């Protein structure tokens, strides 16, 4: 158990809908990362937050947004869903800044299926 909790584990929805994925980081970790894993794109970095502020942005679509709340949990919002958004969405957390570390702790993911 990594200590990172993601909900829901599975989600099935229809095209055009909106969903919210939730992540609780490990106790004490200030940074949260979102990744998307799909068969054709591999593991893609979406966005990173550190102590409530956005720190890095990757290949995140404009239809997607995220935030990190004062209690450090994070939510990833996916809207106007398309079939191609079907994927496994991972949240990870880490202690930063930690120049000599860099290890990320991953949750078990939220599997999104868009029909």
In DSSP terms, which residues pair with 92 in a beta bridge?
A: 33, 106
- What is the contact mask toward other proteins in residues 48 to 87, using x (rule: CB under 8 A)? x-x----xx-x-----------------------------
Smallest Cα–Cα separation from 61: which of 41, 43, 47, 75?
Answer: 47
Q: Which is nearer to other proteins, 14 or 28 (CB)?
A: 28
Q: Which is nearer to other proteins, 3 or 84 (CB)?
A: 3
Residue with tokens 């909900």: 7
**Ranges within 13-52 binding other proteins (CB under 8 A):** 31, 33, 35, 42-43, 45, 48, 50
CA distance 55 to 20: 21
Number of residues this chain uses to bind other proteins (CB under 8 A): 30
Residue 109 near other proteins by CB under 8 A: yes
């Amino acid at each position: 158990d990594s200590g990172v909790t993601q909900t829901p584990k599975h989600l099935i929805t229809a095209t055009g809908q909106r969903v919210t994925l939730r992540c609780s980081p490990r106790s004490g970790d200030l940074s949260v990362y979102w990744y998307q894993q799909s068969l054709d794109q591999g593991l893609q970095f979406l966005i990173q937050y550190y102590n409530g502020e956005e720190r890095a942005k990757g290949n995140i679509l404009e239809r997607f947004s995220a935030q990190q709340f004062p209690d450090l949990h994070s939510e990833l919002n996916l809207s106007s869903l398309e079939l191609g958004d079907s994927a496994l969405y991972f949240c990870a957390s880490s202690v930063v800044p930690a120049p000599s570390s860099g290890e990320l702790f991953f949750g078990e993911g939220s599997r999104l299926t868009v029909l």
